[in-house]
Copies of this chain bind each other. A is one copy, B any other.
Amino acid sequence: MLNELSFAEAAAAIERGDITSERLVRDCLDRIEARDGDVQAWAFIDPELALAQARACDQASERKGLLHGVPFGVKDIIATHDMPTGMGSPIYDGHRAGYDASCVALLRAAGAVILGKTVTVEFAGMAAPPTANPHNLDCTPGGSSSGSGAAVADFMVPAAFGTQTAGSIHRPAAHCGVIGYKPTFDTFGLHGVWPAAQSLETLGMLTRSMDDVELLSAALLGRPAQLERSPVAAPRIAICKTHLWDIVKPETVEAIEIARETLSTKGAEISELVLPDSFDELVPARDIISSYERARATAHEWFNHRDLLSAPLQRGVAKGFAWKYEEYRHAMKVGAERRRDLDVLFNDYDAIIAPCTAGEAPPDRNSTGDHTHIGMWNLLHVPSYALPTHKGPNGMPVAIQVMGRHGEDAALFDVAKWVLEQLVPA
């Protein structure tokens, strides 16, 4: 079925004329029809609207761009001019932004079909979403880009947007077993993306293939896509257990150890990185920044519609308004200082591998799992991937997290692609 093609494979097949956008979109819609009653990955789907976009691509006299005719999922905190944007909140049920977020407009301009809106946790926060993990419906898909993770993993759409202020791209990627890419902070513009915390939030994507990341990034940034890249030789990779190693589960320990051994055998220069104790401050600092900024970003809803906010979000906003400004300033300083420290450490490494989630997706639909391992790196603003390289004791996906130097997303892409090829050979 065409819905199993990756984004890049589908784009190439359409370009060659082997398949039509309409057939591809129909197969995606059929998959959604068959499965979404259980998975609940989609907040909004209008099959006719999706098919009309696909037919327009098929009938166009020339390709619109790199993404011509391929369907894409948009997290439901991201504005679309022709579909509602609900933010996962009853306050914005049926809300029409009236315009496309810049990321959506740029994908459309490059020819992508906006298939629909994927379920987001309420305002990309912590409340449990309706979505299930497609590998086991009793498990959480992770959050907050829950629908994007589940839809991509379940072959409903080849790729989708996610956003991350703590672990909201990599956690659903890890729990659903797809690739998560969070670029360097401030890489893709956030116009039309409902904010969670402005000093942390980053727009990224969930895909089933590394090439999809390259293709979609190229379209968003207005640069050529380089799918044929120079092979990576002997990358210098640091294994970093972090100060949180005691709270990871055996399957994550195993995923990291297998990565260490396999990549060393395949020619990587592996070393162990023990972060200075000052990096222990990252977790509490990120929490302060996130809740201080989220409270302010949620000011309108807090002061006008408090009863319609979930209990976890109400607690989060109350906590955010309770922080003293000086505490927030101190946390921001911790982030800035550790960013400088990490940049120096990256003189010695091409990438750092660290735990992603604690372990497999928890068998609990009322949780979105733990973001601590991801969040500490998120405050460092470096580009990172969640790569699904392993399986846990219940057969559920387990990921490793791979970080690169600030701004060096292209170099990290090459290393991450090499890492994934070694650990999960095609």
Contact = CB atoms under 8 A, between A and B. Distances in A.
A299 B100 contact: yes
A223 B324 CA distance: 7
A47 interface: no
Nearest to A196: B191
A425 to B, nearest CB: 32
B325 A222 contact: yes
Interface stretch (A9-17, A102-110, A413-421): A102-110
- Quick one: which of A98, A191, A293, A301 has the most chain B CB within 10 A? A191
Given A105-B303, A303-B109, A407-B329, A189 B296 contact: yes
Contacts of A104: 300
B95 A98 contact: yes
Contacts of A109: 299, 303
B191 A102 contact: no
Contacts of A266: none
Contacts of A101: 300
A3 to B, nearest CB: 27
A421 to B, nearest CB: 26
A77 to B, nearest CB: 12
B189 A195 contact: yes
Interface in A316-340: 321, 323-326, 329, 332-333
Interface in A268-292: none
Contact of A102 (B199, B297, B407): B297
Interface in A164-195: 186, 189-192, 194-195
A198 interface: yes
Contacts of A198: 186, 189-191
A186 B185 CA distance: 13
A61 interface: no
A107 to B, nearest CB: 9
Given A293-B189, A321-B222, A299 B95 contact: no
Interface string A75-103: 00000010000000000100100111110
A191 B221 CA distance: 23
A304 interface: yes
A407 B335 CA distance: 13
Given A222-B321, A324-B223, A297 B189 contact: yes
Q: In the complex, which range does the number of interface residues on chain A fall in?
A: 35 or more
Contacts of A297: 102, 189, 191
A293 B220 CA distance: 11
Contacts of A299: 100, 102, 105-106, 109
Contacts of A296: 102, 106, 189, 191, 220, 222
A69 to B, nearest CB: 17
A300 B102 contact: yes
Interface string A117-144: 0000000000000000000000000000
A229 B398 CA distance: 55
| 9 nearest CB pairs, A to B | A105-B299, A223-B325, A105-B300, A100-B300, A191-B195, A191-B297, A99-B300, A102-B299, A189-B296
Given A100-B304, A191-B296, 12 more contacts: A81-B304, A92-B98, A99-B300, A105-B302, A105-B304, A109-B303, A186-B199, A220-B296, A221-B325, A223-B324, A223-B325, A333-B407
26 contacts: A81-B300, A92-B98, A95-B98, A99-B300, A100-B299, A100-B300, A100-B304, A102-B298, A102-B299, A105-B302, A105-B304, A186-B199, A189-B195, A189-B198, A189-B293, A189-B297, A190-B195, A191-B194, A191-B296, A222-B321, A222-B323, A222-B325, A223-B324, A223-B325, A223-B326, A329-B407
